[in-house]
Amino acid sequence: MVKCNSTPAVLEILAALGTGFACSSKTEMALVQELGVSPENIIYISPCKQVSQIKYAAKVGVNIMTCDNEVELKKIARNQPSAKVLLHITTEDNIGGEEGNIKFGTTLKNCRHLLECAKELDVQIIGVKFHVSSACKESQVYVHALSDARCVFDMAGEFGFTMNMLDIGGGFTGTEFRWQEVNHVISPLLDLYFPEGSDVKIIYEPGSYYVSSAFTLAVNIIAKKVVENKFSSGVGKTGSDEPTFMYYMNDGVYGCFASKLSEDLNTIPEVHKKYKEDEPLFTSRLWGPSCDELDQIVENCLLPELNVGDWLIFDNMGADSFHEPSAFNDFQRPAIYYMMSYSDLYEMQDSGITSDTMMKNFFFVPSCIQLSQEDNFFTEA
């Protein structure tokens, strides 16, 4: 959760609602504990832990952590004997041509060895974690992952471990449809493998799902270039003899579009200015402000002709967009404006959340105004 969006308003609201947090570093653990989150509600999920950070977790009472190999088990045993460990197993979407190429997570085949090691090292194994990548569109991957998790639970029982936690991980996108699609697949399997009454706590890491649609990004066109007809790709509605426009924005992959380096951005932006319905659309390419060839945000889309100073609006930008600003060309982090409808405010107050510190950063708007898929945050680059 903290990794995909660490803005204060988000963390404060989720903490006030009683949400637990998956943290990958000392900084993240300290950040959520400052908000009053109990260490019992924090999981240290980094697959490659520094010894100093394991010791920090032990010092502040964060005992639940994940592990996927023997070296990590030995580090945990030496530096945090009271740790409660979730074995991080890999899923089918993480496996390439060879199992040896797996970056994170252990195979089902290797779990018995790790359980033997944990027994020898007196490390307490309490459950299983897996993570299906957000890039994976095959819900069936969850079927095999849950089956493997059940096998590990049974295997651990043979070694005398008391297994009571299953972490299904994150990777959920910000769309309601995707969430429902995955839930439709996993719900009956959870009832089968981990039925009610089995004393297994099932947790998720839906950080991206929570925050993605809650943020809208506004970027400004800072430069424009017309590609002559002979270089045109001919994708525009008005024919192959129309020009292609190259637009350069004041944010790119070294800012809020950092995730574009590892995955495609499918969102086509909305043009902020009003234009006529019958206005011609042209093939357009959108670039960030750097001179880097990797800084292409949208390869091809159809837009009316824009000018320097016009604004483009990108929805669903709440996940993985708010890291520290890059030092590259001195690009700065965007200004962030928090907005909430009065109806959401009243609902939160009814649930017992009355943090004046948290609410002082918000602009409150009538419930009929919806900024982004009925959510509450707006960012401006």
Amino acid 186 reads I
Nearest Cα neighbor of 278 from 237, 221, 240 is 237
Instruction: Single out the catalytic residue among 4, 67, 291, 301.
Output: 291
Other Cβ atoms less than 10 A from the Cβ of 64: the count is 23
**Euclidean distance between CA atoms 202 and 34, whole angstroms:** 26
In degrees, rounded to 5, the angle at the alpha carbon of residue 316 between the alpha carbons of residues 368 and 170 is 120
| Residue 246, strand partner residues | 225, 285
Token pair for 297: 């945000």
CA 335 to chain centre: 21
d(CA 193, CA 143): 11
The answer to whether residues 60 and 101 touch, using CB atoms and an 8 Å cutoff, is: no
Amino acid occupying residue 364: F
Q: Is the dihedral of CA 48, 53, 54, 58 positive or negative?
A: negative
- Residue 256 annotated in active site: no
Contact 321, 5 (CB under 8 A): yes
What six digits make up the tokens of 116? Answer: 């033997």
Q: Which amino acid type is present at position 71?
A: V
| Spatial distance between the Cα atoms of 298 and 296, rounded to a whole number of angstroms | 6
Task: Give catalytic residue positions.
Answer: 291
